[in-house]
Chain A
Amino acid sequence: MSRRSGRSGLRVNPVACEAHGICIELLPELIRSDPWGYPLIRPGPVPEQLLPLAKKAVAACPTLALLLTRDD
């Protein structure tokens, strides 16, 4: 697969997520808080220009609950 063909999406593993909220701080463009502090992800692919921030948010999650998926 070429690198451009796949589109990236964000997904939360709800079992692992403990609502630290770091992803919400780092990527408010795509992630907001629900009433209990858990992340609500905007549906759809991650826009190209937000990919670096999305990767940062994935790496910053203390419970590794945020996942960047690619559907090639």
Chain B
Amino acid sequence: MSVAGMGTAAGQARPAGRLPRLIAPDGPLELAEHIDRYGPVPFRDALADFGDGSLISEVEAADLRGRGGAGFPAGRKMRAVARAGRRAGPLRSPVGTAVIANGAESEPASIKDRTLLARAPHLVLDGIALASEAVGASRAYLCVHDSDDQLTGTLSAAISARDRAGMNRVPIQLLTIGGSYVASQETALISMINGGGGKPAFVPPRPSDKGVRGRPTLVQNVETLAHLALIARYGAEWFGALGAGAGSALVTVGGTVHRPGVYEIAVGTPVGELLRQAGGPTEAPQAILAGGYFGGWIRYSDALDVPVSDPALRAAGASLGPGIVMLVPASACGLAETARVVGYLAEQSAGQCGPCFNGLPALADAFWQLAFGRADRATHGWASQLLTLVAGRGACHLPDGTAALAASALRVFGDELYQHAAAGPCPRVRRPGVLPVPGYPGGRA
């Protein structure tokens, strides 16, 4: 049975309002079942065409945003890579571009990418194939963490099945990477593939100009590519029929809820509704951390009506990031939770940029003092000063993200700062950490 290359988009009618879109409840589907359910991969056989009817213009029309944390418009990135590939081409034989699917999520609080890859591998692989065609890629890479042998097994079996069915027009190479927080940053992935140290690099050159082996390179999160695979089949209008145009999103819900896990919601679903889906609080709630460890805190009572979308969460002092909502109970100290995470993030510095490898440990020390030691005015002042000293001064966003989290803790946990300053650390600092921090009691999610 030939399943590939059926020409134009299948265009089957699919109910737009129904969730889940990405992760079939009866998944993971074998390749044949997957094709049965979603239709063949709608290659357009129109590499050179960026205009109306091309996948890139469809993705732009859908205004699909990257789901790896930064939220950059996916279509704009694709267009930049496709254009740069054209520029590089005519002089010699066409060199082609490259596509990297980033599934190496290193946020300790996030499991949505590995869940998607385990439960819907072929949707992500469809997205890689389609994005590769759209930007004229001659090679593609799927990057995942090296910690999960079962997942790598599933993925390499899925890739082989597609090889046998003749569906991999562009070869897809599965790569595993190590555990450091910054190793999954896009320039770090490119450095690793190029045989470098796998650390973030200074930009420019942008990956879209010069990435894998000097080729223009598209780096997209795996969830972004799964959405792209559905947009290619059902169109931009279908995508935007949910979430007031923004579609659906995978969100990892964790902390003190009855059913922690990955939930697919329409973007804009209120935080309170998402927490209800996750079974609600297991004990008296205090605050949520939205957006992961580069995100921000919102008091529980202020959070319930906030829509889970990046603009709304930003207006409330947090962000969507890679889709993370952690519920922290009243029995925990927000300063202690933040201090442990800031300590972890400081240890993740690749040691390349002075303001990062000096500033983050200093910030971690100051936060440790505020949470567990002497929270005097001088320490508070030094912590605030460090926030402005580190932000924006690294090759990657580790210093900015850490500063954002720390700043939000100083804003939201002002009462706690005052109490710690007046009477020393509160008894709640002795509660085991709620936020997962590798290397601390509680450990990984």
Q: Among A15, A16, A36, A37, which residue has the most Cβ atoms of chain B within 10 A?
A: A15
Does B419 sit within 8 A of A, measured CB to CB?
no
Residues of B near A35 (CB, < 8 A) are: 358, 362, 389
Say whether B353 contacts A15, CB under 8 Å: yes
Picked from B353, B362, B389, the residue with its CB within 8 Å of the CB of A14 is B353
Closest A residue by C-beta to B385: A35
Does A34 sit within 8 A of B, measured CB to CB?
yes
Encoded as 1 (CB less than 8 Å from any B CB) or 0, chain A from 14 to 58 comes to 111111000000000000001111101000000000000000000
Q: A36-B355, A38-B354 are in contact. Are A15 and B389 (CB under 8 A)?
A: no
A36 and B394 CA atoms in complex are apart in Å by: 14
Picked from A14, A34, A40, the residue with its CB within 8 Å of the CB of B394 is A14
Residues of B near A36 (CB, < 8 A) are: 354-355, 358-359
B330 to chain A, nearest CB (A): 37
Closest B residue by C-beta to A65: B202
Q: A34-B389, A35-B389 are in contact. Are A14 and B358 (CB under 8 A)?
A: no
A15 and B204 CA atoms in complex are apart in Å by: 12
Say whether A15 contacts B355, CB under 8 Å: no
Residues of A near B389 (CB, < 8 A) are: 34-35, 40
Picked from B352, B358, B362, the residue with its CB within 8 Å of the CB of A15 is B352
Encoded as 1 (CB less than 8 Å from any A CB) or 0, chain B from 191 to 224 comes to 0000000000110000000000000000000000
Say whether A15 contacts B201, CB under 8 Å: yes
Say whether A19 contacts B354, CB under 8 Å: yes
A31 and B271 CA atoms in complex are apart in Å by: 44
Interface size class of A (residues with CB under 8 A): 10 to 19
Q: A34-B389, A35-B389 are in contact. Are A16 and B202 (CB under 8 A)?
A: yes
B415 to chain A, nearest CB (A): 30
Closest A residue by C-beta to B390: A34
Picked from A13, A18, A40, the residue with its CB within 8 Å of the CB of B202 is A13
A26 to chain B, nearest CB (A): 19
Closest A residue by C-beta to B394: A14
A16 and B354 CA atoms in complex are apart in Å by: 10
A51 and B358 CA atoms in complex are apart in Å by: 30
B346 to chain A, nearest CB (A): 14
Say whether A14 contacts B201, CB under 8 Å: no
A17 to chain B, nearest CB (A): 6
Closest A residue by C-beta to B354: A38
Does B304 sit within 8 A of A, measured CB to CB?
no
A37 and B220 CA atoms in complex are apart in Å by: 36
A34 and B393 CA atoms in complex are apart in Å by: 11
Does B47 sit within 8 A of A, measured CB to CB?
no
Picked from A13, A16, A18, A34, the residue with its CB within 8 Å of the CB of B355 is A34
Closest B residue by C-beta to A14: B353
A14 and B359 CA atoms in complex are apart in Å by: 13
A17 and B353 CA atoms in complex are apart in Å by: 7
Could you jot down 30 A-B contacts, CB within 8 Å?
A12-B393, A13-B202, A13-B395, A14-B202, A14-B352, A14-B353, A14-B354, A14-B393, A14-B394, A14-B395, A15-B201, A15-B202, A15-B352, A15-B353, A16-B202, A17-B353, A17-B354, A19-B354, A34-B354, A34-B359, A35-B358, A35-B362, A35-B389, A36-B355, A36-B358, A36-B359, A37-B354, A38-B358, A38-B393, A40-B389
The 8 closest A-B pairs by CB, nearest first: A14-B353, A36-B358, A38-B354, A13-B202, A15-B352, A15-B202, A15-B395, A38-B355
Query: Which A residues contact B (CB, under 8 angstroms)?
Result: 12-19, 34-38, 40
Apart from A14-B394, A16-B202, A38-B393, 9 more pairs, CB < 8 Å: A13-B395, A14-B353, A15-B352, A15-B353, A18-B354, A19-B354, A34-B359, A34-B389, A38-B354
